[in-house]
Structure 1
Amino acid sequence: MEPQIDWDNLTFSHTPTRSMYRATCDEGGEWQEGSIIPFGNIELSPVAGVLNYGQGVFEGTKAFRTAKDRAILFRPEMNAKRLQSSAKRLCIPPIPEEMFLEAVEQIVKDNGDYIPPLDKGSLYIRPVIWGTGPVLGVKPSRSYTFIVYVSPVGHYFQGEIPCLHIKVTNFYHRVAQKGTGDAKAIGNYASSLYPLKLAKELGYNEVMYLNANNENLVDELGAANVFALKGDTLLTPGLSGSILPGVTRDSTIQIAREILGLDVQE
């Protein structure tokens, strides 16, 4: 049965779909072959590492429907590599790239009818790895769970927005230098909730964070990297360890240099 979804009024929120992908890794550090299972709740121990110490990482990518009714992905191999880097930073056994790509392909195929029509939105793909083994002291979990779930979504910012209203804050930093800023770790996002709440109460859409060591320098937004165009020069903060290496960031730099002929300075 086709999903009953109002494609014209999609928001960036979760809509349950048919299935999700699940794989596990136990003490040996080897990921077992995963499988497609019905989407639903999972069971976790109250002592799970992800619940007590935030030992978890995630990714975010999308599938789009084309004018020829094909489903396409945007550079998923970049997400696979970044998830490996994030996992290493949090002492999580990395997912092999081939396994990651196969999991994403399987889950998109199984939920293909949830991909919005052309120009109506996209199918958001969320791969996550959690430390699911029980740990009481502060240490890595002994077992892990890899899940990929999907949801049809509309635009991240809703409505006709000619431009975003950005709140530059020097009261809060997203991360500290030499911390986990270049990893897509779940704790990085929990700490951004309060600054974003305050900004939205003042009518802003997003928060721009400054560098923790030098507040004369910009780091990034809560949900995006930062670029500034000045003449034929495109400026963006360099990857100094506190900034997430965005897939869109890398793509923008390539297009600017190789197609538009801009001078890109990091």
Structure 2
Amino acid sequence: MSKNVNIDWNNLGFSYIKTDFRYISTWKNGQWDEGKLVEDNMISISEASTALHYGQQCFEGLKAYRTKEGKIQLFRPDQNSKRMNNSCKRVLMPEISEEKFIDACIKVVKANEHYVPPYGTGATLYLRPFVIGVGNNIGVKPAPEYIFCVFCLPVGPYFKGGMCPVNFTIADYDRAAPYGTGAAKVGGNYAGSMLPHKLATKTGFADCIYLDPATHTKIEEVGAANFFGITKDDKFVTPKSPSILPSITKYSLLHIAKEYLNMETEERDVLIDNLDEFKEAGACGTAAVITPIGGIEYKGKLHVFHSETEVAPITKKLYNTLYGIQLGDVEAPEGWIVEVK
């Protein structure tokens, strides 16, 4: 490491820490500038920016991992790039080339290399790329200018003291509209989820599960994560819907279940009335990789899967394989790892 930072790596949470450099690029007159690393973590924008008034913005989340050998690697950043461009298209913002996106992430990691936690601590370097509409504009139309930025911060392991199943309840609210922005990673989806999350935690649950907005009969998302279940005959099943955010972790798990664990996999409707078909269930996303689901409260009853206290065996295998790939301990499929050199 090029510089010592005074951080207790074993006791990191998931909260903002200002690191030394972030990348920033501006779109004006139909093109992105070259972009540069800056030290200032404040952005100055017009009071009339579309990001502030009309929610014209999107973001991504990915991580850099330190391997046992001390190398630093990114996990599938090309997939974050593709998803960010899909979000940009959905809210009429200019796309960022995959080359520019990955280059920005690598530059930020290299410039803040001393903030990449050591192997074995369970901590990682979290990257937050985002695009916002800026400039003087008061009508409901696309912004005249845009900012693309990537910043990073070290974060601790999602589960303090080890992975443990948690319980969820069904939300009375919808996360997204049937033909809305559910498949885009835009801030409005998250703003709308804060109240149902608060109501769920108030009643003792980890978060809430959102059903499909059209019929309220099918599981869509678990808080800000994707759902999966393991059937009694060992199939890996995950919901399919145009209003679910396509999780990079979920698609990685689909591949791992099939290619590493020789399981059958299905993306299909998951009916809330058919919870009995699953012996294990979990939520998956960048932050936790996998959050095991102990039980789901539905119509006043708690449906328990494997256990409320123990992580189920297939869920554990999926987690260990994916996390092992991210840390460089398990061989990765071709193209999944980008080494930061």
TM > 0.5 fold call: yes
Give 3-state SS (helix, strand or coil) of 2:166's partner. coil
Please name the residue that 2:19 is paired with: 17
Could you tell me how far apart the structure 2 residues matched to 1:237 and 1:133 are?
Answer: 39
Could you tell me how far apart the structure 2 residues matched to 1:159 and 1:134 are?
Answer: 49
Please name the residue that 2:322 is paired with: none
Q: Deviations over 1:180-229 (max 9, x none)?
A: 01000111111111111111112221221111112120001122110000
Give TM-score scaled by structure 1 length. Answer: 0.96
Please name the residue that 1:43 is paired with: 44
Please name the residue that 2:66 is paired with: 65
Offset at 1:112? 0.7
Offset at 1:133? 1.6
The answer to whether 1:133 aligns with 2:135 is yes
Whether the aligned pair in 2 keeps the contact of 1:17 and 1:39 (CA below 8 Å) is no
Could you tell me how far apart the structure 2 residues matched to 1:139 and 1:241 are?
Answer: 25
Whether the aligned pair in 2 keeps the contact of 1:50 and 1:130 (CA below 8 Å) is yes
Offset at 1:160? 4.5
The answer to whether 1:156 aligns with 2:166 is no
Could you tell me how far apart the structure 1 residues matched to 2:167 and 2:159 are?
Answer: 11
Could you tell me how far apart the structure 1 residues matched to 2:85 and 2:163 are?
Answer: 35
From the two aligned structures, give the one with the greater strand fraction.
2
Please name the residue that 1:103 is paired with: 104
Give 3-state SS (helix, strand or coil) of 1:226's partner. strand
TM superposition outliers: structure 1 runs of 4+ over 4 Å:
157-161
Could you tell me how far apart the structure 1 residues matched to 2:21 and 2:88 are?
Answer: 24
Offset at 1:27? 3.1
Q: Deviations over 1:52-104 (max 9, x none)?
A: 11100000000011111111110000000110110000000000110000000
Please name the residue that 1:92 is paired with: 93
1:180 aligned partner, one-letter code: T
Could you tell me how far apart the structure 2 residues matched to 1:118 and 1:208 are?
Answer: 33
Could you tell me how far apart the structure 1 residues matched to 2:41 and 2:110 are?
Answer: 18
Offset at 1:138? 0.8
Please name the residue that 1:179 is paired with: 180
Offset at 1:159? 4.7
Offset at 1:134? 2.0
Could you tell me how far apart the structure 1 residues matched to 2:160 and 2:42 are?
Answer: 28
Could you tell me how far apart the structure 1 residues matched to 2:258 and 2:230 are?
Answer: 13
Q: Deviations over 1:87-143 (max 9, x none)?
A: 000000000110000000000001011011113210000000000122211111010
Please name the residue that 2:230 is paired with: 229
1:198 aligned partner, one-letter code: L
Give TM-score scaled by structure 2 length. Answer: 0.75
- Structure 1 residues without counterparts, runs of 5 or longer: none
Please name the residue that 1:208 is paired with: 209
**Equivalent residues, number:** 263
Whether the aligned pair in 2 keeps the contact of 1:131 and 1:141 (CA below 8 Å) is yes
Could you tell me how far apart the structure 2 residues matched to 1:161 and 1:245 are?
Answer: 24
Could you tell me how far apart the structure 1 residues matched to 2:158 and 2:151 are?
Answer: 18
Of 16-25 and 160-169, deviating more is: 160-169
Offset at 1:39? 3.8
Whether the aligned pair in 2 keeps the contact of 1:16 and 1:39 (CA below 8 Å) is no
Could you tell me how far apart the structure 2 residues matched to 1:255 and 1:177 are?
Answer: 30
Give 3-state SS (helix, strand or coil) of 1:227's partner. strand
1:248 aligned partner, one-letter code: T
2:81 aligned partner, one-letter code: A
1:77 aligned partner, one-letter code: D
Give 3-state SS (helix, strand or coil) of 1:225's partner. strand
Please name the residue that 2:4 is paired with: 2
Of 139-148 and 255-264, deviating more is: 255-264
Please name the residue that 2:266 is paired with: 265
